[in-house]
Amino acid sequence: MKVLFVLKENHGNPYNLLLQQGLKDLRIECEHSIEHFFDSTKKYDIIHFQWPEAIFNWKEISNQDTLRVKQHIDRHKNDGAKIIYTRHNDKPHLLQSNYHSLYSLIWSESHTIIDLLEDRLLVKKHSKLVGVPHGRYPATITPREKSLELLNIPKPSFVILVFGSVRNMKEQELIQNIFYELKIPNKILIAPGWGKATRPSLFKEPIARLKTEIKSKIFSIQPNVLTAASFISEEDVKYYFSAANVVLLPRINTRNSGVLHLAFSHAKPVIGLNTGNIGVILKDSNNFLFDGTSKSSIKKVCMKVSDSFRNGSLEKLGLINLTYAEENWDWKSIAKQHLEIYSNAVNKNTLTQ
């Protein structure tokens, strides 16, 4: 069986490389390439899309680009290939109408759609949909004392980590509200991606832009808020997670988050909103889940975190999360589930409607 992942091999997210290695261990021939998807001389049994934006290297696209993808999907289908799509997001990262069209195209043309959740936890069933969890990330547990020293964090400190990009001002506001509400001494927030949040247009909404800029700046210059960070190398990721007491996921309208899996893999408890698969996993694993961005919801979850810190159960929850990841997100099992999906698709003669 020959599988093509339609994205660059050095995509930046190790998810697909870990999946590829698991499939290769099962003697499945697989490769990453965007060029080969558009090469009419190349033939495959499986065409597997992960992030539709990755087809065009996360750059803006036109209607003609979407049409071009459609033409090559048709060609691959005519050559006997089956189309598989892993749904990482409900909506495009880039909120363009053309990317919405590309998402719809890939959904409609796929024989099978993989949802990054254990099948037993799937909330909505669909004839094309099958649940396969996101695998755990390799993690090196580094002594916390060393990590605090390397990151220049004073001791003692209670560290709240927001890892990855903060996508918009709503996420920034949620982070601020939770940070202010946590009644824990010596608290420090680490948010390396704070400055990446999209803001209101300076030309269309100048007053709103000015207000958000001022509020964001005032918060970020506090001595116990660390937001300035250059690119974090893969080698340094472990220091941020080892230093953290808890990981905060500020995602408001997001289906999945690789940061959740990083946190579990590093034995860290997680605070997150009840949204998409994030909410399902946090509920199933008894982590800190809140149902909305209201003050009462935030206050309630912060009280739980504070109580867990004081009674010593916070660190234990992190270890339970690591066990959860080891038992449920093993790449060997995930690769076998993918192989089964591929085999079922290849053995079907018609597209499941």
Task: Give the pLDDT of residue 94.
Answer: 59
Between 321 and 212, the higher pLDDT residue: 321
Mean pLDDT of 61-82: 96
List of E strands, the chain: 2-5, 29-32, 46-49, 82-87, 112-115, 129-131, 158-161, 187-190, 225-226, 246-249, 270-273, 288-290
Mean pLDDT of 107-111: 96
Task: Give the pLDDT of residue 95.
Answer: 57
Claim to verify: residue 271 and residue 341 sit in the same structural domain: no
Claim to verify: residue 95 and residue 165 sit in the same structural domain: no
Task: Give the pLDDT of residue 96.
Answer: 53
Q: Is the peptide bond before 156 cis (omega within 30 degrees of 0)?
A: yes
> In this model, does residue 87 exceed pLDDT 80?
yes
> In this model, does residue 351 exceed pLDDT 70?
no
> In this model, does residue 299 exceed pLDDT 70?
yes
Mean pLDDT of 11-21: 88
Task: Give the pLDDT of residue 278.
Answer: 95
Residues 6+ positions from 321 with CB-CB distance below 8 Å = 263, 264, 267, 268, 269, 270, 285, 287
Task: Give the pLDDT of residue 353.
Answer: 34
Task: Give the pLDDT of residue 317.
Answer: 98
Mean pLDDT of 11-24: 90
Task: Give the pLDDT of residue 171.
Answer: 92
Claim to verify: residue 255 and residue 336 sit in the same structural domain: no
Mean pLDDT of 87-114: 87
Q: How many residues does the chain have?
A: 353
Answer whether residue 117 is part of any domain: yes
Task: Give the pLDDT of residue 350.
Answer: 42
Answer whether residue 297 is part of any domain: yes
Answer whether residue 101 is part of any domain: yes
Claim to verify: residue 159 and residue 116 sit in the same structural domain: no
d(CA 307, CA 29) in angstroms, rounded, equals: 50
Alpha-carbon distance values, 11 to 16, 54, 100, 188, 197 (Å): 8, 8, 21, 32, 22
Answer whether residue 263 is part of any domain: yes
Claim to verify: residue 21 and residue 124 sit in the same structural domain: yes
H or E element, residue 328: helix 313-328
Claim to verify: residue 56 and residue 106 sit in the same structural domain: yes
Mean pLDDT of 226-243: 87
Summarised one tens digit per residue, pLDDT across range 56-65 is 998 889 999 9
- Site of tokens 């948010």: 191
What is the count of structural domains for the chain?
2
Answer whether residue 352 is part of any domain: no
Phi, psi of 237 (to 5 degrees): -55, -40
Claim to verify: residue 324 and residue 336 sit in the same structural domain: no
> In this model, does residue 88 exceed pLDDT 70?
yes
Summarised one tens digit per residue, pLDDT across range 249-283 is 999 888 999 999 999 999 999 999 999 999 999 99
Q: In what order do the strands lie in the sheet with 82-87?
A: 29-32, 2-5, 46-49, 82-87, 112-115, 129-131
Confidence of residue 230 (pLDDT cuts 50, 70, 90): low
Answer whether residue 139 is part of any domain: no
Confidence of residue 97 (pLDDT cuts 50, 70, 90): low
Answer whether residue 204 is part of any domain: yes
> In this model, does residue 34 exceed pLDDT 90?
yes
Between 209 and 162, the higher pLDDT residue: 162
Claim to verify: residue 159 and residue 127 sit in the same structural domain: no
CATH of the domain at 210: 3.40.50.2000
Structural domain containing residue 69: 2-134+330-347
Claim to verify: residue 254 and residue 226 sit in the same structural domain: yes
Task: Give the pLDDT of residue 93.
Answer: 65
Answer whether residue 335 is part of any domain: yes
**1 burial class (0-12, 13-18, 19+ CB within 10 angstroms)?**
middle
Claim to verify: residue 74 and residue 185 sit in the same structural domain: no
Claim to verify: residue 172 and residue 249 sit in the same structural domain: yes
Claim to verify: residue 184 and residue 285 sit in the same structural domain: yes
- Amino acid at site 191: A
Its pTM stands at: 0.91
Average pLDDT, the chain: 91
